[in-house]
Amino acid sequence: MSEQANVNDRLVVQLDSAEGCLGWATLGGRRWRCSVGAGGIREDKVEGDAATPAGTWPLRRIYFRNDRLVLPKVRLPARPIVEHDGWCDDPRSPSYNRLVRIPNEWSHEKMWRDDGLYDLVVVVGYNDDPPEGEWGSAIFLHVMRDDEGPTQGCVAFRRDDLLELVTLLGPETRLEVQSIPASETAPRAAVDEDMKQFEDFDEQDW
């Protein structure tokens, strides 16, 4: 597989800085503003920490509100959300980190929401093959809040941007959430440029 193909199959998320929740998601030559969890990006995520898990994850399927939007043509499996859909977030449950029917005896969140955040959802394949321990659940790509505030661990996009993005995602696409923010990688690039000057240095210049 070519390097260009690899780039086009990686949706890379990186924060602007470690202090905020806003960053950019890039796929191929495109990029979109996004927000991540209030707990930041963590490599040791656990249930309830509101953190977005660092790492590289597959994308499973799409859920959407067909009473609120028309889903464009997509390559991932998709189905409408219905009022009895929930997502189990209880590590004690045999249905942990799975779609469940509600009402349900285990702790869960509702997929049918009034605030529009789940009008369009892409399920991230995090801790689901199989779900284990208390490493976290319900990691999605979904619609961003109007104030662009943090999520509870998901990656959120402006509604129109997410509608564009889902058309570009396929079974081969991987979400790559980087733990090092852009503010910390930029100085490194400058150092690399300085080192390149030494590489190009010719002793005859003395």
Token pair belonging to 94: 């045999």
Closest CA to 21 of 3, 4, 42, 1: 42
Residues 124-175: tens digit of each pLDDT: 999 999 999 899 999 999 999 999 999 999 999 999 999 999 999 999 999 9
* Residue 185 pLDDT level (bands cut at 50, 70, 90): confident
Q: To which residue do tokens 């961003």 refer?
A: 144
Residues 53-67: tens digit of each pLDDT: 999 999 999 999 999
Architecture of domain 3-184: Beta Barrel (2.40)
Considering just the CA atoms, what is the radius of gyration of the chain in Å? 19
Taking the domains of the chain in order of start, what are their residue ranges?
3-184
Cα 36 vs. chain centroid, distance in angstroms?
8
Integer Cα distance of 31 and 149 in angstroms = 19
